[in-house]
Amino acid sequence: MQKYILMINFFLLGFLCEAQQKEVVPSPAHVAWAEAEIGVIFHFDVVNYVPNYNWQQWGSHPPASVFNPSKLDTDQWIQAAKAAGAKYAVLVAKHCSGFSLWPTKAHDYNISKSPWKDGKGDIVKDFIQSCQKYGIKPGIYASASANGYLHVNNPGKVQPGGPLTQQQYNEVVKTQLSELWSNYGKLFEIWFDGGVLPIKDGGPDIAPLLKKLQPDAVVFQGPSDAKNLIRWIGNEEGRAPYPNWSRSDFTTSATGTIVIDGLNGDPNGSIWCPGEADFPMRTGWQGGWFWKENEQRLLSVDQLVDAYYTSVGRNSNMLLGIVVDTSGLVPKEDADRLAEFGKELSKATSHPIASIKNIAEKEFTLELNTNQAVNQVIFAEMIQKGERIRKYRIDAWIDNHWIEIAAGESVGNKRIHKFKEIKTSKIRLNIIESTGTPLIKNFAVYNI
């Protein structure tokens, strides 16, 4: 009898373990990040002052003395970001050149060796203070995979003839990340552009530092054993694939240099690792990420709004690249465009005809009272409980019968459908497939 009881207990234990494995949900950091929806990322480096500099030509790095912005104002940066509706901002504290925007103790190629503020300045500190002043959540980008000054190429390997050994460079990385993660307060997002060289291939051990110093930050392209990971969506155009699931069996390729499988995510994926859609608001020189006068063009307001629909509207965050010119300011035309974008986005998403919140049903109808013009639906799941919706259909009551106007698979934090204008008195959401009871955070209809 005890044998059978033991077998039953093992069966039940296995069943429970399987159920637990299938219940993949976001961390509180993931939820806060998803709800922020829009972020910006600022690029500013020595290449702005020496446009022909190629960081992969070892030993050709410009001297720190070239970096000398005359009007630098991080308040102006963050005001421009806030006008666009951004809730978080990431500063590129060290790009591929290796020049560091804070007075790092790891090496001499940094802001303290420039003439700006007589070598006593710290752009990272100024940036963090501006974020705090204007209620924007701060993030830091510091590439571990490339450093022209120290002859380090993707994916974080010291090249032959470089000034340091691989182990010495690993210590530089850990020193710099420790400074950035210890000296400036709590960070909302941490960016590893190009990923991190795995330990097995000779790379630095980063995950313990993250856990110790910034356990609540979301981490883009970080080490696979880190918490709160987010993933790349596969392009720099603000266009997430669809369907786009927050669950996945992939994070980023180990080195960050290989396009990974699974860009859509997987509704049955083993981890919560949502996508972030990063793209620059300029095109042209340096991909539009860094400023250069007369050699780039701005995206139009319509293009920016469209990118919101194809990123946030497909369950991805939108991370918009903003340039800083050689004076140390966001150019006026860029700041104006950001404000225009923010106003247009508010018009398109802030004033629903009707909405309903916190519904736990597989089917429900939103009454509009009278026949009204409708051309947009926005809805969201309560992602704290995971992604439960697997297939859905949206119908409108037209000429005394239901007509399908939209359908899809993934929803997650936000799904937006735009369609040709119709006139209807009620809209119905029908969850065709789900795991458990679908939990709808918000369902709203618009005429824009």
Residue 373 contacts residue 413 (beta carbons within 8 Å): no
pLDDT at 181: 98
Q: Which two tokens stand for residue 32?
A: 């806060």
Q: Give the max Cα distance, the chain.
A: 84
Residues of the chain with pLDDT > 70: what percent? 92
Orientation angle between helical segments 332-349 and 74-83, nearest 10 degrees: 30
Residue 99 contacts residue 79 (beta carbons within 8 Å): no
Above 80 in pLDDT, residue 272? yes
Write out the DSSP string of 29-81. Answer: HHHHHHHH-EEEEEE--GGGTSTT--TTSTT-PPPGGG---SS--HHHHHHHH
124-180, pLDDT tens digit by residue? 999 999 999 999 999 999 989 999 999 999 999 999 999 999 999 999 999 999 999
Buried residues in 278-306 as b, exposed as e (16+ CB within 10 A): bbbbbeebbebbbbbeeebebbebeebbb
Collapsed DSSP state (helix, strand, coil) of residue 280: strand
46-80, pLDDT tens digit by residue? 999 999 999 999 999 999 999 999 999 999 999 99
- How wide is the angle at C-alpha 82 spanned by C-alphas 252 and 230, nearest 5°? 15
Residue 67 contacts residue 121 (beta carbons within 8 Å): no
Domain 354-446: CATH architecture, name and number where available? Sandwich (2.60)
Q: How far apart are the first and last CA of the chain?
A: 69
What are the backbone dihedrals phi and psi of residue 29, each rounded to the nearest 5 degrees, phi first? -65, -40
d(CA 391, CA 133): 43
pLDDT at 257: 46
Instruction: Give me the mean pLDDT over the 20-31 stretch.
Output: 85
Residue 212 contacts residue 205 (beta carbons within 8 Å): no
Q: Which distant-in-sequence residues (6+ apart) come within 8 Å of 329 by Cβ?
A: 71, 72, 73, 76, 77
- The alpha-carbon radius of gyration of the chain (Å, integer) is 24
CATH node for 23-349: 3.20.20.80
Q: Which two tokens stand for residue 368?
A: 């509009």
Residue 240 contacts residue 212 (beta carbons within 8 Å): no
Query: Among 205-214, 262-271, 403-412, 435-444, whose mean pLDDT is lowest?
Result: 262-271
pLDDT at 97: 98
Residue 36 contacts residue 85 (beta carbons within 8 Å): no
Helix (H) or strand (E) holding 403: strand 401-408
d(CA 175, CA 325): 29
Collapsed DSSP state (helix, strand, coil) of residue 157: strand
Above 80 in pLDDT, residue 22? no
Return the domain boundaries, the chain: 23-349, 354-446
Above 90 in pLDDT, residue 229? yes
Q: Give 251's pLDDT tier (boundaries 50, 70, 90).
A: low
Q: What residues pair up with 373 in beta bridges, in sequence order?
A: 423
337-392, pLDDT tens digit by residue? 999 999 999 999 999 999 999 999 999 999 998 999 999 999 999 999 999 999 99
